[in-house]
Amino acid sequence: MKKAYLILEDGHIFEGYSFGAEADAVGELVFTTGVCGYIETLTDPTYYGQIVIQTFPLIGNYGIIPEDFEGKSFVSGYVVREWCDTPSNFRSQYDINKYLVDEGIPGIYGVDTRELTSIIRENGVMNASICYEIPENTDFLKKYTIVNAVSAVTDNETYTVEAETEKKHDVVVINYGKKNGIVKALSEKGCRVTVVSPDTKAEDIIAMAPDGIVLSNGPGDPAENVEAIECIKKLLGKYPVLGICLGHQLLALANGGVTFKLKYGHRGTNQPVKEINGKYTYITTQNHGYAVAPNSITNGKVTFVNANDGTCEGIDYPDIKAFSVQFHPEACTGPINTDFIFDKFIKMMGGSENAAE
């Protein structure tokens, strides 16, 4: 039980105990409100450069299940109230401490995560450090910033995942830091999915003659992805396009929209999203720190809003056969009642006649 400290940019210091990798860490401190899904949280590339607080008090009780990984971990640090060193699950292969050690992620437990979350909720996201001695000078915390996040979590790999059922469509997923669940959901619905890197040229995507294009989730400030936005502009109107999370924001920017940073973001499996022209409110899985300013969209219409703070959660662009959602319709892990988003995209693709000439 080695002592560890979580030091916040505003001067708060939390004392706890070390688990996982024994290393110092600096990152943007954020919280996620899911009761379950810590495996998907740890393996979601969108958490690049961030120290993650789990608001649910007990973490690790069902162990680590590699088949549920969403990708490689880019979490900077991990904060929990209590971690379970004796998981009980027939699918578990090892415990969470081993996972953190293997991935080089420092963790701290024994922290009052309720109080910590309240500080972030009231004051906004701030930088923090996990360390083993309290430093005399914490100016380094104010200097920390997340940059070039998409390039940090992606590579130049292009690969194809075959349809799990009879193939109906060919889909290109532009990988900005995608969750594996997006590819799996498309494959299960009869799509042959080709995953391409974020720096793939529009001309190369057009040469693949897909039936539709998905802009994936990913980390960081959407506005810094200038080349990706220019690529999307060249693809608009040629194919049906679905944007998810970061892809939603990039699609808005490609259409002249504006994005802004939220006070503390939306992260967890219990985010309520309300239909604008419907009667339903859906419980969704989300992980993002930025949002689209709805008034900045002139050629689209907002379709969903967050029931908590009214921020934009979806936009339709009917003139160019494109639409996007801020939440994750594949919901790994989380509720699956927005799976219809993929059905809408598949219906939009229709037949191969959607391909550009």
Per-residue pLDDT tens over the stretch 207-259: 999 999 999 999 999 999 999 999 999 999 999 999 999 999 999 999 999 99
Residue type, 283: I
* Cα distances (angstroms) measured from residue 40 to each of 71, 77, 108: 8, 15, 19
Contact between 232 and 196 (Cβ < 8 Å): no
Task: Report d(CA 112, CA 170) in Å as an integer.
Answer: 48
Packed helices 226-235 and 246-254: angle between N→C axes, nearest 10 degrees: 70
Domains and CATH numbers, the chain: 3-146 (3.50.30.20), 150-354 (3.40.50.880)
**pLDDT range class, residue 33, cuts 50, 70, 90:** very high
**pLDDT range class, residue 267, cuts 50, 70, 90:** very high
What pLDDT shows up at residue 278?
Answer: 86
What pLDDT shows up at residue 333?
Answer: 82
Tokens for 187, please give them: 């494959």
Average pLDDT over residues 89-94: 97
**Which contiguous run of DSSP H or E holds residue 322?**
strand 322-325
**Residue 85: beta bridge partners?**
none
Contact between 81 and 53 (Cβ < 8 Å): no
What pLDDT shows up at residue 335?
Answer: 83
Residues 6+ apart with CB under 8 A from 284: 271, 272, 273, 313, 327, 328, 331, 334, 335, 338
Instruction: Determine how β-strand 322-325 pairs with β-strand 169-174.
Output: unpaired
Could you give the percent of the chain with pLDDT greater than 70? 98
What pLDDT shows up at residue 354?
Answer: 41
Per-residue pLDDT tens over the stretch 268-325: 999 999 999 988 999 999 999 999 999 999 999 999 999 999 999 999 999 999 999 9
Average pLDDT over residues 329-335: 86
Tokens for 319, please give them: 């003139």
User: What dihedral angle (degrees, nearest 10) is formed by the CA atoms of 21, 23, 27, 33?
Assistant: 30
Task: Report d(CA 143, CA 269) in Å as an integer.
Answer: 31
Contact between 285 and 268 (Cβ < 8 Å): yes
Q: What is the chain's alpha carbon radius of gyration, rounded to the nearest angstrom?
A: 20
Task: Report d(CA 176, CA 45) in Å as an integer.
Answer: 9
pLDDT at 21 over 50: yes
pLDDT at 353 over 60: no
What pLDDT shows up at residue 59?
Answer: 98
What pLDDT shows up at residue 355?
Answer: 39
Q: Closest Cα to residue 322, out of 213, 179, 206, 186?
A: 213
Task: Report d(CA 342, CA 234) in Å as an integer.
Answer: 23
Task: Report d(CA 2, CA 339) in Å as an integer.
Answer: 44
Residue entry with tokens 């004796």: 86
Average pLDDT over residues 11-38: 96
Contact between 150 and 123 (Cβ < 8 Å): no
Average pLDDT in the chain: 95
What pLDDT shows up at residue 137?
Answer: 93
What pLDDT shows up at residue 253?
Answer: 98
DSSP string for residues in 177-235: S--HHHHHHHHHTTEEEEEE-TT--HHHHHHT--SEEEE----S-GGG-HHHHHHHHHH
What pLDDT shows up at residue 331?
Answer: 83
Instruction: Determine how β-strand 241-244 pairs with β-strand 322-325.
Output: parallel
Average pLDDT over residues 153-177: 96
| Residues in the chain, overall count | 357
Burial group, residue 139, by CB count within 10 angstroms (0-12, 13-18, 19+): exposed
Contact between 191 and 329 (Cβ < 8 Å): no
What pLDDT shows up at residue 351?
Answer: 52
Which residues are marked as active site? 245, 328, 330
